[in-house]
A = this chain, B = another copy of it.
Amino acid sequence: MSTWKGRDVLNILDFSRGDLEELFELAKKYKEDLKNHRVNRILEGYVIALAFFEPSTRTRMSFETAAKRLGAATVGFTSGEGTSIEKGETLADTIQMLDSYADLIVIRSKFEGSAILASEVAVHPVINGGDGKQHHPTQAMLDLFTVTELFGSPDGLTYAVVGDLRYGRAASSFLLGLTRFNPEKVILVSPKQLRARPEVLMTLMDSGIRYHESDLETALEEADVVYVTRIQKERFPDPAEYEKVKGSYRITRGLLEAKAKNGLKILHPLPRVDEISHDVDNTEWQAYFIQAANGIPVRMALLSLVLKGDEL
């Protein structure tokens, strides 16, 4: 029996392995439907609010595409600019309004806890499209779906998570999501200023997942899945420090040819800047474009499970 209907999607930790497997099953079916141009209007008549207080290209457009592929309509805004918040309205009042217009709200904000607040105000389900530094649960869902698709299951694999593990919410949510499965181990690769947050490490530890810090070359030699994220210049008080650091986190075709474990796949939540060189794009290691494309079927599955649950 599905437990999805009417649920808020705030934190990847709110979902069990069984929940995620149910989601992946449906996403797989939708992916097949898309490939075969089968039109599905199961959400016709539904209105989904996209409340993007922080601009986003990929997350916003993939939710919008997912909704429309299922016949739902969307309303919303693409940045906080010009919204009532600028006139001094509270987030709660804005959400109250959206809740009375739409059947489901997707919220994206740079403020930690915005999605939780929204879910407390709203009668309808709220999906966290990314808030603050830690939570981006739907990104973790599509990441884990991609791993499942590539390897059959997330179990038994060695993961390296590379880049900004401190402020990058995609990396944190991915690490949290791994606790729903049985990874072999996790390798953390980051500059010392951007190490994984203690609460994330604690969660790994509590779940009995082995992890250790290492460098990029070791990671490439040992990992099956290398999850790369952007290192933002702004995180470094001293630009010279950034310049010194960034070369050590750059994956090139040459480096992969020299080091990569057999069957290794590279994920990246995108956008990338230069942490993965473009000469990797047409190799067997590349899985980030597959991952990006999976945003559609996974979010289609998510929207339909939350809105319809067992009625599907």
User: Of all chain B residues, which has the CB nearest A99?
Assistant: B293
Task: Report the bound CA distance from A278 to B121 in whole Å.
Answer: 13
Q: How many copies of the polypeptide does the oligomer hold?
A: 3
Q: Does A270 contact B (CB under 8 A)?
A: yes
B-contact bits for A21-43, CB 8 A (1 contact / 0 none): 00000000000000001010100
User: Of all chain B residues, which has the CB nearest A273?
Assistant: B88
Main SS at interface, chain A: mixed
Q: Does A252 contact B (CB under 8 A)?
A: no
- Cβ-defined contact, B75 with A77, below 8 A: no
Interface members, chain A 51-93 (any B CB < 8 Å): 55, 57-58, 61-62, 64-65, 68-69, 73, 75-79, 81-84, 87-90, 92-93
Contact check: which of B73, B83, B93, B271 meets A84 at CB < 8 Å? B271
Task: Report the bound CA distance from A68 to B68 in whole Å.
Answer: 12
Task: Report the bound CA distance from A57 to B90 in whole Å.
Answer: 13
- Cβ-defined contact, B78 with A82, below 8 A: yes
- Cβ-defined contact, A270 with B100, below 8 A: no
Task: Report the bound CA distance from A179 to B48 in whole Å.
Answer: 38
Q: How far is the CB of A43 from chain B (nearest CB, A)?
A: 10
Q: Does A96 contact B (CB under 8 A)?
A: yes
Enumerate chain B residues within 8 angstroms of A84, measured Cβ to Cβ: 57-58, 270-271
Task: Report the bound CA distance from A118 to B82 in whole Å.
Answer: 23
Task: Report the bound CA distance from A77 to B96 in whole Å.
Answer: 24
Contact check: which of B68, B77, B89, B270 meets A93 at CB < 8 Å? B270
Task: Report the bound CA distance from A87 to B87 in whole Å.
Answer: 28
Enumerate chain B residues within 8 angstroms of A96, measured Cβ to Cβ: 289, 292
Q: Does A153 contact B (CB under 8 A)?
A: no
- Cβ-defined contact, B39 with A44, below 8 A: yes
Further 19 A-B residue pairs, CB within 8 A, beyond A47-B65, A47-B69, A77-B78: A41-B45, A45-B69, A55-B83, A57-B97, A58-B97, A61-B75, A61-B101, A65-B101, A78-B82, A84-B271, A87-B273, A89-B273, A92-B278, A93-B270, A93-B272, A100-B289, A100-B292, A100-B296, A101-B295
